[in-house]
A and B are shown apart, each in its own frame.
Chain A
Amino acid sequence: IAGITQAPTSQILAAGRRMTLRCTQDMRHNAMYWYRQDLGLGLRLIHYSNTAGTTGKGEVPDGYSVSRANTDDFPLTLASAVPSQTSVYFCASSDGGENTEAFFGQGTRLTVV
């Protein structure tokens, strides 16, 4: 693994189903983030974690949950998918310093039907 990896790359999901998007990084970054990106809108923060064992809500957390059991992994779960959750999901990480950028995974394209 090099950098930050997301799985799956894409998924078609029936409404009402449960789904976990996986995110793993090998850069030992403290902070991790989940964003969704929709056409015409900026990246919107769903949940974040500043360090292992802690999580926080972002701008659009409803319908999503996260956990951060260790430094490397930050899964995002949709408990009961709805069509409005159709989006491209990006996981990102940073070491949390003043001027450090976020590194992004390649994204998961999720379609809820």
Chain B
Amino acid sequence: GQNIDQPTEMTATEGAIVQINCTYQTSGFNGLFWYQQHAGEAPTFLSYNVLDGLEEKGRFSSFLSRSKGYSYLLLKELQMKDSASYLCAVRDSNYQLIWGAGTKLIIKP
């Protein structure tokens, strides 16, 4: 079967750095996405990786290792508004997105 694993919940301090991991086992791979979802709102796109390596976009970076079936989302200089769930999704061989359950990130002052 297809599976995306992420930690259920993480806590970090304002101003710090946090890394959210995602491991996947899917039938084929055609890219990995990270989305942010605030409570009661729709998911919004953060990043896309299809090749190995690090993609940086402001305070957020995303890393991919296809051989290990592994990605992480790195958030720097954490702000209170970063409190949200972070969803990892892999596009499989049928070009359908398989979603992880999400990681709830709690930021403390």
Contacts and interface: CB of A to CB of B under 8 A. Distances in A.
Interface stretch (A21-29, A68-76, A103-111): A103-111
Interface in A94-113: 98-99, 101-107
Given A99-B48, A106-B41, A42 B31 contact: no
A99 B50 contact: yes
Interface string B23-34: 000000011010
Nearest to A99: B48
A48 interface: yes
A90 B43 contact: yes
A45 B98 CA distance: 8
Given A98-B31, A99-B31, A102-B97, A43 B87 contact: yes
Nearest to A109: B40
Contact of A102 (B30, B41, B45, B100): B45
A25 to B, nearest CB: 13
B60 to A, nearest CB: 14
A90 B48 CA distance: 20
B93 interface: no
Given A42-B89, A101-B33, 14 more contacts: A40-B8, A41-B101, A42-B87, A42-B98, A42-B99, A43-B43, A43-B89, A43-B97, A43-B99, A48-B96, A90-B43, A98-B31, A103-B45, A106-B42
Q: Which 9 A-B residue pairings sit nearest by Cβ, starting from the closest?
A: A42-B99, A101-B45, A104-B42, A43-B99, A42-B101, A42-B100, A99-B48, A104-B43, A106-B42
22 contacts: A40-B8, A40-B101, A42-B98, A42-B100, A42-B101, A42-B102, A43-B87, A43-B97, A45-B97, A48-B96, A58-B96, A90-B42, A99-B48, A101-B33, A101-B45, A101-B48, A102-B45, A103-B45, A104-B42, A104-B43, A104-B44, A106-B42
